[in-house]
Amino acid sequence: GENVEQHPSTLSVQEGDSAVIKCTYSDSASNYFPWYKQELGKRPQLIIDIRSNVGEKKDQRIAVTLNKTAKHFSLHITETQPEDSAVYFCAASYGYSTLTFGKGTMLLVSP
Amino acid sequence: NAGVTQTPKFRILKIGQSMTLQCTQDMNHNYMYWYRQDPGMGLKLIYYSVGAGITDKGEVPNGYNVSRSTTEDFPLRLELAAPSQTSVYFCASSYSGRAGIKGETQYFGPGTRLLVL
């Protein structure tokens, strides 16, 4: 089955800096890659996703890039703010398979 | 729309007790999922359903059972609770289960925190 590795496990940045979280996947058939944000004590919520026919997608301060050849995808957050502090999860799936999640990255943004 | 709702929010069980975690969605989604989230770990799929009357095992199904008699409800049953089942349980739903097809986004409920002592 699919295996998703996520790095780093924790990331501390200063407000205004950029943050990058990277994920690798094992199954070359995977074609859908969502990113979820989970604030402390809350439910995971989708923040951005990308399909394999697209190399990059942006939504305001958030962007995701996909390298199908290397089988990795990354989340980029620019101009970080304290409210970006949360745990971020990447995931991958293909066809009718279920999502396989990474173990998460705790992002801490210091004022 | 209330989205995905779960009850209870928190429960303490004694070893060997049983309970049912409730999950309801009002978005007319076909696909529903149960995940558990242990500290420092990602979400692991317990069971999922592609529609009423159809369920299938996920990555960690042992010790759990599910049923799907309606589109809206997807209860998770714990039989003979064990300390290893201490976790946060999330229910999720999606319109489509097909990756890369619009509607595959999974929407999560608020979670049930379960402590087995």
d(CA B111, CA B114): 10
d(CA A106, CA A37): 10
> Chain B: residue nearest A2 by CA?
B59
In this prediction, residue B103 carries a pLDDT of 67
| Inter-chain touch B110–A89, beta carbons under 8 Å | no
In this prediction, residue A85 carries a pLDDT of 98
| Phi and psi torsions of B81, nearest 5° | -55, 140
Give B67: exposed, middle or buried? Use CB within 10 Å, 0-12, 13-18, 19+. Answer: middle
| Inter-chain touch A32–B42, beta carbons under 8 Å | no
Query: Residue for token digits 């010790």?
Result: B63
Among candidates A43, A96, A103 on the partner chain, residue whose Cβ is nearest the Cβ of B98: A96
Which residues in chain B land under pLDDT 70?
A: 99-103
Tell me if chain B has a CB within 8 Å of the CB of A47: no
What does the pLDDT look like over A24-71, one tens digit per residue?
999 999 989 999 999 999 999 999 999 888 899 999 999 999 999 999
User: From chain B, which residues contact A within 8 Å (Cβ)?
Assistant: 33, 40-45, 48, 58, 90, 97-100, 104-111
| Phi and psi torsions of A34, nearest 5° | -95, 160
